[in-house]
Structure 1
Amino acid sequence: MQATGRLLNDPVKIADGKIKFGFILLSSGMFKETFDSLNTVDVKILPDSLKQEYYFLTARTYYDLADYDKDNYYAPIYNKRAGIYIDSAIALSSPQSYSYTYNLGLKYLKLGKRDQAAVLLKKLMKDYPLTDHELAVTASTLSDIYIQNGENDEAIKLLEMAAIADIKSSTKEAAAMLNLAQLLHKKGDIKNAYVYINEAMNDASYYGARQRKMQVSQILMVIAGKKINSVEEQRRILFIYASLLTLLAAIVILFAFIISRQLKKLRKADKIIVNTNISLQQTIDKLNEADKIKEEYIGYYFNLISEYITKLDRFKRSVNNKLVTKKFEDIQQLVNNINLKKEKEELFVNFDKAFLTLFPNFVEAFNSLFAAEHQVKLNAGQLLNTDLRIFALIRLGISDTEKIASILEYSMNTIYNYKARIKSKSLIPNDDFEDTILSINTI
């Protein structure tokens, strides 16, 4: 702008350029150079708007220099000089303007009149249509008051607002990020403090503000150190958690293995118990069946023996009578009248009746083991035939071929042949045939 002013031979533009250049120098922390630039400005030729800007920049330079020194000798001197220049800037501003209210609030703040300064700055934020840059400056300045009052939470809110406004206005020379990082660091929010301090360093590096970079560097090292410590602590905690989880997983796996083994043992024991119960039930069923068969056949043979005793008694009496009367030829006749074949047939009929009383479905069950053409066909009035009687005796538990042959009055070979012939026609394997017969239930 100074070069343009010289080309146009416009001293006002040259002065304006020097003021703008002074702001850049101040933002870079170059106080001497700022004063050198401002001291070359001829204030008399400036319009009121530029005079106001000149006086405000000079006042700010002294304020910043006092903040930089922070001593008991020079700082009061710089603040006093700044007060003179800020008064000049206020005098040149319209009472309804932003610059008037803000400059007056800044003056009160530097004089320690925080309450009066806060009233003015709050009024600006509430009643004035501020630009993003004006909002950032006002909120940042007001946050200083809250910081001095120890109200850091409110200060953080204002600094967040100021930082957002700085980003919107593309302002890189700003203290909001730095102050926000410091407050968050004090609050213990290292994570966000680290983010903001890095952003503040990026802005300072971009703008080339050496003073700001020094300020940021000091707090950056502290926050970065705590960030590293925090990360290390998190790693340590994560390692502990991982170790505990690994141990817990190992314990869970161990218990799962133990439980699995116990479950296998329990399942095995349950299976044994179930099989034992089934076997026991089968044994009980067989015992019950055997008892039932015994009861039935004891009654059957008791009746049969009673009948034979009665017959023998009648035969004995007849023989005695014949002997007494000496009718010896009649005795021979009595003996000849005994029909063993008929007696045998009656014995089988009685056996058949007794057996079918116990196993009424035996014939049907037996025939179900054969194809239709090989099933047993009984004659009218016939209960069982020889084929059926052989396996009826087997069903009663008489498996010895010699005994079966003796009962049915056949040779053993005949019984073997019967069994082989019958089994060969069945629908099931020969080895399973007799077991299947044994599985036929009683009533």
Structure 2
Amino acid sequence: MEKVLFVSVFLLLLLSMGHAQTKRSDSLIIVLKSELAKDGQYDKSKEKRIEQLKMHLVGIGAEDFKSRFNLYTDIFREYSSYKFDSAFQYVRLMTDLSEQFGKKQELIQSQILMGTTLVSSGFYKEAFDITDAISSDELPNTLKTDFLFLRARLNAGIADYDNDAYFSREYYRQSAEDFKSAEIATPSNDFEQTINLAFNKDSVAARHLTPDFFYHTIIRQSLPAHNVAMVATRVSYAYTGYDRVLFLTLAAINDVRSSTKETLAIFLLGQELFKLGKTNDAYEFMQEAAKNAKFYGARNQVVQIESMLPLVAGKIIDEKQHEKDKLLIGLLIFLIVAVVLFFLLVIYRRQLQRIKVNEQMIREKNTELEDVNAKLWESSRIKEELIGLFFKTCSSYIDTLDKIKHKTLHSIKLGKYKEVSQLLKEVQVEEEKDRLYEMLDSVFLTMFPNFIASFNALLKKEDQIWPKSGETLNATLRIFALIRLGITEHEAIAKILDYSVSTVYTYKTRIKSRALVPANDFEQRIMEIKFIDSNYF
């Protein structure tokens, strides 16, 4: 009995902890969205710091190696997780300056930073060339540790890129070996050792270390935002579900605050939310991840992220379609039940009226026994007939309802929506069409958020067409939206939008005649409007 009670209490505690963790993760996601809205402000602050450093550089003489090298280093560190091209430019300046003055240690330091920058952008072959050219045996411990971390990241990166059980195995083994060697060269401090406990299940169980413990440990350290993001991302690999979401959201928030564009945190957050069924948030964060990767210049991440985005977008479309199907089925059931209830009420009303007539006749003929008996017998027969009719009618409606139900479900299952439409004569078709167009507009603008602006860019300012307040797309924009989706035949467009073929032709001709590009090229330019416009990122 005590054992059962203990297990019950333990399960309740787990459930309450899980619920609390979900609420905390949701709260952090709200904070993240708020920070994303301010990312331009953080980027401006970083650009301002970089410009100030560049201004300091102007006043330093060409022979002052130390000051110039230190400023190059500071500018590189500002760019290192922000923009690959600029970071690469300044780490090359560091390398050239070190070679010019014959500074061997600074040269190796610059080469290691060069390799780290190349790994971040997916230049694995070039990074391997750098690591192969460096001999780690004669390096001091600090540089040796940096070198080993570089090689570990490089091997892990190429293993992830290969994504093959056979070929990736050796890269993962080498990466793990380099991380161990780096730990020997420069042992972890107390904070790093505490964070590493998250990956030691025995220590976690023995010390009762919960995700909350590691979360508060990170927060209490008062680390710079970029460091918080890196530590939180590392801890996230020890967990799954909402526990992992908690740490990845914390990492993403601090990446935004530190203007870090070279980051996987927000993409990993999108992946985890997608697994948990939070598709809209997953899509939003993956779009942000793609934007960051393109801004930074992380070619490997762009490919990985953009391969996932269509899957998430497809899931969103499927969910909306499923909601629409549920609405239609609900409406169908409601109409059937309403019709059945209406006829039942008519029958009940008639039955009550007849009973009242019979009772009145009995009261009027009460003085004569034979008449009363006759009337009672007649009334009894009427009641029997009415009851029989009632049950027969109910049975008939039930059979009819059952046939309609099976036929409707069968037709829906086979995709025969026209047969369903025949059963739903009272459905407001025009309203359903309006809803369909609204959904079409919403889905289309989700896939092509820059469509309206790109469309109007092909027209003179006075000829541009913008939706009115409350509209998503108007008639003209909707015709060209269908063309962008690959529906080019006039008959098909007219049928979808319930226009005449001549109306569609007139709309198209009128717009092409006002275009800034040749009429023959207009539709091609419409087709070139990107699924996700590069300017958006």
Q: What's the TM-score, normalizing by structure 1?
A: 0.47
Specify the structure having the higher radius of gyration (Cα). Answer: 1
- Higher relative CO (Cα under 8 Å, sequence separation at least 6) belongs to 2
TM-score (norm 2): 0.39
